Amino acid sequence: MAIPRLEELARRYAAAAVQAERNGDRDEAITNYKRAVEALRKILELDPRTEFAKIYVNAIKHYTERIKQLEDLREPVAVGSSGGDIDVDELILKEKPNVSFNDIVGLEHAKEALKRAVIYAVKYPHLYGKIGWPQGILLFGPSGCGKTMLAAATANAIEGVVFYVSAADIMSKWLGESEKKIAKLFESAREYAERGVPALIFIDEVDDLFGVFSSEVGGEVRVRNQFLDEMDGLKNKHKKLHLYVLAATNKPHKLDKAFIRRFPVRIYIPPPNHAARKQLFEHYVREWEIEVDSTVDFDELARLTEGYSASDIVHVIREAYYKAVSELIDLIEKGSMDPRSKPRPLSMEDFLSTLRRVKPSLSKEQVRIAEKWNAEHGTVI
């Protein structure tokens, strides 16, 4: 199964698990968390060197812990306290993904906006005077187009502490515990910022946590209100802390209006255009040291991949390369090639045959909705 498809499945299963918890359906939540873990493990099996390996491992850990909590739970809802201290340090990324802005093809508007909002504010705080800097940044757009990579590059650039948060990390079986965890998360981040260590809270798939649902219950409203209160607390005019909340979503239209107002910088991350698709092919062929022959036309490949996400194009390149590797392995197994041989250069036909099998993961409706929301709410052009 294609990696972009597995990534999308993992997101859907995790979202379904959180929704099942909202509905009090413990068994359904467990089933979907297990499916999300299975999809993430399959990604790591197919591509163990992915730049997001650490994030996927972190997600697997949290989903597995949540499965255990739900399996140990005897009642769908418990009132009171779990009886232990809330440890938000477990949300800190101990080792950040090795991603820089130079590794991200295109998206210059987004990179520049993140530099102005976060990186330059950390480097040159005196230039921001009494105005200060924005502390809420929302990245939105179709899946697989670079939101997580941008967040990882921003985290690396500020050399601070990064809290990686998903809905499964926050939603708790104990009524009142989720709000406490939100409060503790911001308290911990403020403590770092007050010591001069920039703190970044990255909330992935934020609509799963702070979206508005027809079936939501009082606990979810309290969690959302707690978060909004914490965001308002960042506006203390007497303390200009380097504490930033960077959120990402594929479904900005699901977000609460009050939530949106707390994120003055809203950056649309669109699918790659023709020039960016060509750059993606050229960049990864060069980055991964893949040999190609004279028949390969990157401009034509960019034309043929209209509607593909950046993640889709990366997968096309991998699959084309794996095809040449498989051919070489067959020859090695038959004893007709030296095991130390390298795969042959890729041809245009290798890419064309791969494109016949690997279809885009994006739908036109996804893109249409994102573009409409950007026209109404986006703040970065």
End-to-end CA distance of the chain: 35
Higher pLDDT, residue 132 or 276: 276
DSSP label of 9: H
User: How far is it, in rounded angstroms, from Cα 9 to Cα 303?
Assistant: 27
Tokens (6 digits) for 44: 């790591």
Q: What pLDDT score was predicted for residue 98?
A: 78
Q: What pLDDT score was predicted for residue 314?
A: 92
- In 3D, which of 268, 266, 269 has the Cα closest to residue 379? 266
pLDDT digits (tens, 9 = 90+) for 75-108: 444 333 444 456 777 778 777 777 889 889 989 9
Tokens (6 digits) for 244: 């930033």
Q: What pLDDT score was predicted for residue 84?
A: 46
Residue whose structure tokens are 């979202």:
15
Count of C-beta atoms within a 10 Å radius of residue 109: 14
Higher pLDDT, residue 78 or 236: 236
pTM for the model: 0.76
Q: What pLDDT score was predicted for residue 79?
A: 37
Find the range with the poorest average confidence among 126-140, 235-249, 307-321, 341-355.
235-249
Q: What pLDDT score was predicted for residue 212?
A: 64
- In 3D, which of 175, 134, 105 has the Cα closest to residue 317? 105
Q: Which long-range contacts (CB under 8 A, 24 or more apart) does 15-21 make?
A: 15/167, 15/205, 15/208, 17/63, 17/66, 17/168, 18/167, 18/168, 18/171, 18/208, 18/209, 19/213, 19/215, 21/70, 21/171, 21/173
- Say which CATH class 85-270 falls into: alpha beta
Which phi and psi angles does 201 have, rounded to 5°? -100, 115
User: How far is it, in rounded angstroms, from Cα 193 to Cα 93?
Assistant: 16
Q: What pLDDT score was predicted for residue 51?
A: 61
Instruction: Spell out the domain ranges in the chain.
Output: 1-76, 85-270, 274-361
Tokens (6 digits) for 72: 């140990």
pLDDT digits (tens, 9 = 90+) for 174-210: 556 778 888 888 989 988 988 888 999 998 888 877 7
State percent of the chain over pLDDT 70: 87
Q: What is the mean pLDDT of the chain?
A: 83
Find the range with the poorest average confidence among 63-77, 142-156, 157-171.
63-77
Mean pLDDT of 100-128: 91
Q: Which of 49-63, 216-230, 302-316 has the highest mean pLDDT?
A: 302-316
Tokens (6 digits) for 135: 């502390």
Q: What pLDDT score was predicted for residue 92?
A: 82
Which phi and psi angles does 234 have, rounded to 5°? -75, -15
Residue 328 CA, chain-centre distance (Å), reads 35
Q: What pLDDT score was predicted for residue 86?
A: 60
Q: What pLDDT score was predicted for residue 211?
A: 66
User: How far is it, in rounded angstroms, from Cα 374 to Cα 230?
Assistant: 26
Mean pLDDT of 362-371: 91
- In 3D, which of 237, 249, 245, 279 has the Cα closest to residue 262? 245
User: How far is it, in rounded angstroms, from Cα 212 to Cα 231?
Assistant: 18
**59 band by pLDDT with thresholds 50, 70 and 90:** confident
User: How far is it, in rounded angstroms, from Cα 121 to Cα 332?
Assistant: 55
Find the range with the poorest average confidence among 67-81, 117-131, 201-215, 253-267.
67-81
For the domain made up of 1-76, give the CATH fold.
Answer: Methane Monooxygenase Hydroxylase; Chain G, domain 1 (1.20.58)
Residue whose structure tokens are 């030296």:
338
Q: Which CATH number fits domain 274-361: 1.10.565.10, 1.10.8.60, 3.30.70.270, 3.90.1150.10?
A: 1.10.8.60
